[in-house]
């Protein structure tokens, strides 16, 4: 995954600060908001790995433990941040449609939440991976995710997976839901944020599911 150089990051520092101030306004503490801005900078910098340790190394002045605490431990509410991000993106793009999509994330081991051997359109094959489901705002020039969910396979609900679920800190109430149901959940959440699609598009993996089409009709989504 590509990104920008440190010099390019410096050049857009003012815009990044303004964006982070808006997106993280709901965070109650100044240090949390500052770490949020650093995290965004780390995501933008060039480098294949976007986990905390390599990002902290690229950022240089940022202490690894502080950034890790912000991402993994700090008790800030992510929901207002997600809502504000969706609002900003819809305003910036003025989308002509929303698109439903899956993204595969290849993994080497078995410890990541929801990982198993499964088909990924992103990879074009069956592989050991996680799957993310997203609702994206699209125009002819650009696209961006407005909401997203990690797909939990049915196998992760089995008793044999209890130890792995505990190790991954998966909440007991988080269980398998079909991908089409995850999309309906996200559309309901976005509606709660006063965001509705002009039209929703998706591939046959969604379109051939009768319950999904009925769910869209019930919500009066074309």
- Which segments of the chain are extended strands (E)? 97-106, 116-120, 125-138, 143-150, 200-201
pLDDT of amino acid 74: 80
**pTM of the prediction?**
0.89
Per-residue pLDDT at 187: 98
- At 46 the pLDDT is 81
Distant-in-sequence, close-in-space partners of 199: CB < 8 Å, separation ≥ 6: 96, 97, 98, 221, 222
From 81, 69, 48, 44, select the one nearest 59 (Cα to Cα): 44
**CA pair distance 145, 101, nearest whole angstrom:** 9
Output the pLDDT for position 2.
63
Per-residue pLDDT of the chain (222 residues; tens, 9 = 90+): 568 888 888 898 899 999 999 999 999 999 899 999 988 988 888 877 778 888 888 887 777 888 888 888 888 899 999 999 999 999 999 999 999 999 999 998 888 999 999 998 888 899 999 999 999 999 999 999 999 999 999 999 999 889 999 998 899 999 999 999 999 999 999 999 999 999 999 999 999 999 999 999 999 999
CB-based contacts of 20-24 (< 8 A; 24+ apart in sequence): 22/84, 22/88, 23/81, 23/84, 23/85, 23/88, 24/81
4 closest CA partner among 41, 43, 46: 46
The first and second tokens of residue 79, run together, are 């929901």
> 163 and 170 in contact (C-beta within 8 Å)?
no
Distance of CA 107 to the CA centre of its chain: 17
């Amino acid at each position: 995954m590509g990104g920008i150089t440190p010099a390019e990051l410096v050049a857009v520092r003012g815009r990044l600060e303004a964006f982070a101030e808006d997106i993280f306004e709901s965070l109650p503490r100044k240090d949390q908001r500052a770490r949020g801005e650093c995290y965004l900078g780390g995501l933008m910098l060039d480098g294949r790995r976007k986990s905390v340790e390599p990002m902290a190394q690229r950022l240089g002045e940022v202490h690894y433990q502080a950034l890790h605490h912000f991402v993994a431990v700090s008790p800030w509410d992510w929901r207002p941040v997600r809502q504000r991000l969706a609002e900003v993106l819809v305003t910036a793009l003025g989308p002509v449609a929303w698109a439903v999509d899956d993204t595969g994330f290849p993994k080497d081991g078995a410890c990541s939440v929801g990982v198993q051997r499964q088909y990924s359109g992103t990879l074009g094959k069956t592989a050991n991976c996680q799957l993310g489901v997203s609702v994206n705002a699209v125009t002819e020039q650009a696209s961006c995710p407005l909401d997203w969910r990690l797909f939990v396979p049915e196998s992760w609900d089995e008793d044999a997976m209890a130890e792995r679920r505990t190790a991954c800190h998966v909440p007991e109430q988080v269980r398998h839901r079909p991908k089409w149901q995850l999309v309906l959940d996200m559309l309901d959440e976005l509606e709660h944020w006063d965001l509705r699609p002009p039209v929703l598009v998706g591939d046959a993996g969604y379109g051939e599911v009768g319950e999904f089409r009925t769910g869209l009709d019930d919500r009066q989504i074309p």
